[in-house]
Amino acid sequence: MIVLSYKLSKPFLYIKKATETHGREKKIEGMLAPGDRVLVVDDLVASGKSLLETASLVMGEGATVSDALVLVDREEGGVEKLAKVGVKLHAFAKTSQIVKELYETNLIDKRYFEEIVEKRISEEPDSETTAVSSD
């Protein structure tokens, strides 16, 4: 995430898991001012819970979040959950695309392909860890 921030010449923020009892006592580390436009960036999205929490924290500081970027969308409801609060999710790939490509290039067999698809459908969403990059 830091490399992306550097390459785009944009400030980098991150969300701390717990508020410290010393210092600024804020969950957001980095420079953030009211009115800033923020792109939330993460490795993957499942249910969207973690990205939504991050967006809410950032918006609570007066910034705007209209987009989120992930490498992989696990297709477990994150797109819809984020859309409800006006955040558009952009993903480089979806789980279904990855599994299909693995199967079509004979990197996994039909049995394993079907097992992954069935497991993905029946599995509960996991939580994600999130970093944030801002204007």
pLDDT in tens, 108-133: 999 989 888 777 666 544 444 344 44
**Hey, what are 3's tokens?**
């490399």
Where are the chain's structural domains?
Answer: 2-14+35-93+127-131
Kindly write down the DSSP assignment for every residue of 39-51, as one continuous string. EEEEEEESSSHHH
Cβ atoms of 31 and 44 within 8 Å: the answer is no
- Binned at pLDDT 50, 70 and 90, residue 23 comes out as low
Q: Which CATH fold topology does 2-14+35-93+127-131 show?
A: Rossmann fold (3.40.50)
Kindly write down the DSSP assignment for every residue of 6-38, as one continuous string. HHTT--EEEE-SS--SSTT--SEES---TT-EE
pTM for the structure as a whole:
0.79
pLDDT in tens, 42-91: 999 999 999 999 999 999 999 999 999 999 999 999 999 999 999 999 99
Backbone angles phi, psi at 64, to 5 degrees: -110, 135
For tokens 């830091």, the residue is 2
pLDDT at site 21: 56
Cβ atoms of 14 and 30 within 8 Å: the answer is yes
